[in-house]
Amino acid sequence: MRIDILTVMPEALESPLHCSILQRAQDKGLVEIHVHNLRDWSLRKHRKVDDYPFGGEAGMVMQIEPVWRCMEELKSQRDYDEIIFTSPDGEQLDQPMANALSLKENLMILCGHYKGVDYRIREHLITREITIGDYVLTGGELPAAVIADAVVRLIPGAIGDEQSALTDSFQDGLIEAPVYTRPEVFNGWHVPEILLSGHQAKIAEWKMQMSLERTRRLRPNLLKDNDVETNNNKKRK
């Protein structure tokens, strides 16, 4: 996989993209992540990439020319499965979306900034708009890093134990069950006895019940959206 990220603040992506699973995946050759400074495609003085919006609103807007030039150059070198714009009003990033994107070969992510981007970019150049939550950030760099992390960790070989990713929260529409490790007792707090029993069938049943209980308590919308609890009850019958 290859991910190209277009930004006016490349320094904001240096740390997130070069540590832990993302760095290991790049070292293994599983993914290439390239960050492009949009100022390199500006023809204006001081490499400016923004201007005042038509209509007299406050703030500055990313111009279409440097974005278009950068995208055209990259698209002349390869075909992109998705050209993503990080926007507060985009689709909400979730696990099924990350799963689907992890199967793609080439992704391009444009990071929003300032007051936004010239809307013609979104109309004619973007294929998908994604948000990581209903709030506004300074720029789209952090959402781009989140998207990359959520996607890359699903690529086979990125995580040492591939089964680990399959048991993460939201993979089956539920929140993950509680996990524990040594010591068995700390400060008077005990690990649930079922996890020490070695009875894998009963442990699996306990984990499912705990996932349902935690999802019902913390994220009931997941049960409503996916009807996971009803389907699980049918399986038990």
User: What's residue 127's pLDDT?
Assistant: 98
* Cα distance between residue 204 and residue 63, in whole Å: 54
Chain-wide mean pLDDT for the chain? 91
Task: Please answer whether residues 110 and 126 qualify as being in contact, where contact means their C-beta atoms are separated by less than 8 angstroms.
Answer: yes
The answer to whether position 164 is within a domain reads no
- Is residue 209 over pLDDT 90? yes
The answer to whether position 157 is within a domain reads no
Q: Is 133 exposed, middle or buried (0-12, 13-18, 19+ CB in 10 A)?
A: exposed
Residue 235's pLDDT band (cuts 50, 70, 90): very low
The answer to whether position 122 is within a domain reads yes
Q: Are residues 105 and 217 in the same domain?
A: no
pLDDT cut 70: percent of the chain above it: 90
CATH of the domain at 76: 3.40.1280.10
Q: Are residues 180 and 119 in the same domain?
A: no
Residue 146 three-state SS = helix
Which DSSP state fits 224? H
Distance of CA 126 to the CA centre of its chain: 17
Q: Are residues 106 and 197 in the same domain?
A: no
pLDDT cut 90: percent of the chain above it: 81
Q: How many domains does the chain have?
A: 2
How many CB atoms are closer than 10 A to CB 122?
Answer: 17
Q: Are residues 45 and 103 in the same domain?
A: yes
Residue 214 three-state SS = helix
**pLDDT tens figures, 141-163:** 999 999 999 999 999 999 976 55
Write the CA distances from 213 to 174, 176, 194, 216, 233, integer angstroms.
Answer: 10, 10, 17, 5, 13
Range of the domain at 210: 169-236
* Cα distance between residue 109 and residue 37, in whole Å: 12
The answer to whether position 128 is within a domain reads yes
- Is residue 32 over pLDDT 60? yes
Q: Are residues 116 and 204 in the same domain?
A: no
**In which residue are the tokens 């010591």 written?**
183
Indicate the pTM of the whole model.
0.86
Residue 216 three-state SS = helix
- Is residue 33 over pLDDT 90? yes
Task: Please answer whether residues 117 and 61 qualify as being in contact, where contact means their C-beta atoms are separated by less than 8 angstroms.
Answer: yes
The answer to whether position 161 is within a domain reads no
